[in-house]
Amino acid sequence: MPLAIRGLTLPSWQNAKIGKLQLVEFVSMFGTNGSASLNNQNSLRTASLPGAFAAMGIALGLTGAVSAWAVRLPGIQEWFWPLLILQLGLLLAIGTVRSWASEGAENVSMVLLFVYAAVTGLVLAPVAGLYLASAVGKAIVFKALGAAGATFGAAAIYGWTTKKDLSSMGSILFMALLGIIISSLLNVFWLHSSLTEMVISGITVLVFTGFTAYDLNIAKSNRYNQTSGQIALNLYLDFLNLFMAFLRIFGGGRR
């Protein structure tokens, strides 16, 4: 299995993108009983997926609600770096939850997911303020939500229904994500090109469409014994990255 660490695309207030630090599939292998039977794995799969999809929806709603509320907070931009560090800590905690909270891992990972979603809402508050300030901006948000939902749904259905094993896609998607991160940083700090930003956003849509299919394909068999919260985190980040990419595309590089 490839080391599935999905890097963080560092957002700035001028070019905000939520990146994906995917530790779950790797670190969740530790702190688990290696002698678990295939029947136990299938039971975990059946129990985890409905809860994971429900948690994903709640987490996305929580992020949106917190963002809309935090728009009114003065000086929210000044909290960016502390919030970013907190995000990274929460991602690491969720990814390693089975190693330090083995008995309550399911519940703990869910709680941490919702905390992460709320923190992400604070990080995205300036972006929300930018788009929600006008009717045109709100229309762009709904358009991006629709496009992200359709793309996510199609990729998820493919990942779930295909008979192919998509695990080999992990290393390819990881390298593509590294390219997105490097290109984004170069554009933010050096190129300052709206055209480059649009190209990067388009590539981001393709990459996270692939990640969505990959994550559902992995979750279908729950081969890494992930908790519902860990699976939900994967799907949450897939959708959020798709949404942010479409937001930049439909917004025409709005700043």
Provide the CB-side half-sphere exposure for 165 (13 A, CA).
Answer: 6
Residue 90 predicted with pLDDT over 60: yes
* Residues 6+ positions from 99 with CB-CB distance below 8 Å: 27, 30, 31
Name the pLDDT band for 222 (thresholds 50, 70, 90). Answer: confident
126 or 222, greater pLDDT:
126
CA dihedral 112, 115, 119, 122 (to 10 degrees): 160
C-alpha distance from residue 108 to each of 5, 56, 74, 99, 209 (Å): 21, 15, 32, 12, 28
pLDDT number for residue 45:
52
| Residue at 203: amino acid letter | I
> pLDDT for 139-182, tens place per residue?
999 999 999 999 999 999 999 999 999 999 999 999 999 999 99
- Give me the residue label for tokens 């992460």: 116
Among the listed ranges 2-6, 44-48, 234-238, which one has the minimum average pLDDT value? 2-6
* pLDDT for the residue 12: 36
- pLDDT (mean) for 203-210: 98
Joined together, the tokens standing for residue 231 give 């699976």
Q: How does residue 20 score in pLDDT terms, banded at 50, 70 and 90?
A: low
Please give the mean pLDDT across all residues of the chain: 84
